């Protein structure tokens, strides 16, 4: 008997397979198609012949942990202790999985705010806990009335995602004030903050749990080198948590992967010294603005995009189809692969919206827009 009977092939795999089958332009999955920084590949090439190919310590390469602590201090003004409060993980997904498995017990509840990324629910179910799906507002902002109503003494964790995938929406200071009140009201409640797009923000600066001292002792943050440095295939991220929580997370991590790619850690350790991570938002804002300018001549209505490298669009003026059928027709008839937003809702809520990934080179985005103008 399956432990996850309702989980089948993901829509990301389906759409990518359809894109390949129909030779469509793939704007569905969230991976860049442009070259990695030559400084990083040069570092990697040099390290290939160095003595960096054996296990690193379980929690991560010590010098890389130190540099993450410095980065956190520079970015957010928060001091964290590298050895006790930081963990290098095999991608953000492993960090999320290890955190939930370590901290959530059977029969406890976890709040997931929909639309939500699909990796949250499975580790909750595998913990014999209960995922509680709470819908965001129609503009994808948190609905604090429904969130507060969903939390009770059994609620162990609330998962927040800021900047938000799939919508690109960002939380405000007021949202964090509401979260602080909620955490204060429920002493057993922890916050799992998925911040993998933290450095990909545009007009408004990103607000992190690291900015909120009242949340530090009750929060676990998830970050991603793969997203920040467009090296998604490296599958390397990190977790920051207070020492008492991190001690439990490390126990799961130890038996899940033990340690993460040694050469990747050494490469990132050296790369952090030469890259300015603050320029990342500008880099992706240029791509967002370029894609938005191309889409002006289409019948699609673009929704606000404040962070991440995804653009949500409404096709309500074009078709009354459900979003899954519409995205499949986009592939077969127009040669562009996207993702339907309904798959990010537990109940399949359909607002006739689709998601594009604009982390592509200009040629790819231009060719996609030319096809979309035919809608």
In this prediction, residue 240 carries a pLDDT of 99
Question: Where residue 38 falls among pLDDT bands split at 50, 70, 90?
Answer: very high
Same domain, 349 and 225: no
Q: Domain of 95: which CATH number?
A: 3.40.640.10
For the chain, give percent helix, strand, coil, nearest 5.
45, 15, 40
Say yes or no to pLDDT of 343 above 90: yes
Say yes or no to pLDDT of 13 above 90: no
Tell me, yes or no, whether 85 lies in a domain. yes
Distance CA(18)–CA(30), nearest Å, equals: 16
Domain closes at, from 252, 271, 290: 271
Same domain, 179 and 328: no
> The sheet that has 155-161: what strands, in order across it?
86-89, 237-240, 219-224, 190-194, 155-161, 109-114, 130-135
Say yes or no to pLDDT of 9 above 90: no
Tell me, yes or no, whether 164 lies in a domain. yes
Distance CA(250)–CA(253), nearest Å, equals: 5
Distance CA(157)–CA(366), nearest Å, equals: 42
User: Tens of pLDDT along 186-232?
Assistant: 999 999 999 999 999 999 999 999 999 999 999 999 999 999 999 99
In this prediction, residue 11 carries a pLDDT of 83
Same domain, 157 and 236: yes
In this prediction, residue 15 carries a pLDDT of 87
* Domain of 58, in residue numbers: 39-271
Same domain, 347 and 241: no
In this prediction, residue 285 carries a pLDDT of 97
Domain closes at, from 271, 305, 320: 271
Tell me, yes or no, whether 212 lies in a domain. yes
Domain count of the fold of the chain: 2
Same domain, 143 and 83: yes
Same domain, 108 and 247: yes
Tell me, yes or no, whether 2 lies in a domain. no
Tell me, yes or no, whether 69 lies in a domain. yes
User: Tens of pLDDT along 266-289?
Assistant: 999 999 999 999 999 999 999 999
User: Tens of pLDDT along 51-105?
Assistant: 999 999 999 999 999 999 999 999 999 999 999 999 999 999 999 999 999 999 9
Say yes or no to pLDDT of 29 above 90: no
Same domain, 208 and 347: no
Tell me, yes or no, whether 6 lies in a domain. no
Domain closes at, from 271, 296, 329: 271
Q: Domain of 367: which CATH number?
A: 3.90.1150.10
Same domain, 217 and 344: no
30: left (phi over 0), alpha (psi -120 to 50) or beta: beta
Same domain, 121 and 150: yes
Tell me, yes or no, whether 4 lies in a domain. no
Same domain, 264 and 226: yes
Same domain, 236 and 181: yes
CA angle 355, 357, 363 (to 5 degrees): 130
This prediction has a pTM of 0.96
Same domain, 327 and 245: no
Say yes or no to pLDDT of 362 above 90: yes
Tell me, yes or no, whether 117 lies in a domain. yes
């Amino acid at each position: 008997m399956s432990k996850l009977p309702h989980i089948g092939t993901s829509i990301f795999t389906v759409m990518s397979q359809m894109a390949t089958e129909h030779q469509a332009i793939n704007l569905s999955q969230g991976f860049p198609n442009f070259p990695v920084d030559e400084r990083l590949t040069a570092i990697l090439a040099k390290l290939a012949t160095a003595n960096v190919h054996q296990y690193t310590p379980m929690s991560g390469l010590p010098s890389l942990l130190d540099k993450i602590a410095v980065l956190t201090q520079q970015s957010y003004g928060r001091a964290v202790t590298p050895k006790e409060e930081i963990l290098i993980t095999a991608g953000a997904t492993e960090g999320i999985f290890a955190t939930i498995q370590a901290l959530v017990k059977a029969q406890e509840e976890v709040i997931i705010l929909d639309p939500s990324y699909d990796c949250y629910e499975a580790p909750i179910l595998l913990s014999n806990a209960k995922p509680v799906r709470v819908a965001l507002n129609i503009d994808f902002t948190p609905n604090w009335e429904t969130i507060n109503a969903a939390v009770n003494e059994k609620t162990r964790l609330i998962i927040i995602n800021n900047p938000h995938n799939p919508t690109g929406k960002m939380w405000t200071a007021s949202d964090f004030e509401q979260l602080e009140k909620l955490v204060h009201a429920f002493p057993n409640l922890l916050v799992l903050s998925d911040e993998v797009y933290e450095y990909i923000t545009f007009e408004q600066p990103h607000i992190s749990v690291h900015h909120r001292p009242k949340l530090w002792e009750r929060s676990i943050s998830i970050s991603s080198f793969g997203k920040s440095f467009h090296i998604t295939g490296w599958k390397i991220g990190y977790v920051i948590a207070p020492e008492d929580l991190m001690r439990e997370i490390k126990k799961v991590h130890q038996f899940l992967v033990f340690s993460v790619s040694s050469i990747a850690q050494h490469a990132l350790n050296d790369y952090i010294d030469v890259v300015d991570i603050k320029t990342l938002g500008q880099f992706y804002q240029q791509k967002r603005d370029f894609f938005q300018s191309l889409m002006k001549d289409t019948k699609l209505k673009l929704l606000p995009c404040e962070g991440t490298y995804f653009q949500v669009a409404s096709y309500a003026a074009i078709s009354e189809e459900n979003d899954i059928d519409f995205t499949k027709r986009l592939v077969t008839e127009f040669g562009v692969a996207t993702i339907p937003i309904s798959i990010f809702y537990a109940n399949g809520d359909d607002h006739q919206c689709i998601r594009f990934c604009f982390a592509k080179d200009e040629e790819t985005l231009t060719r996609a827009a030319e096809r979309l103008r035919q809608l």
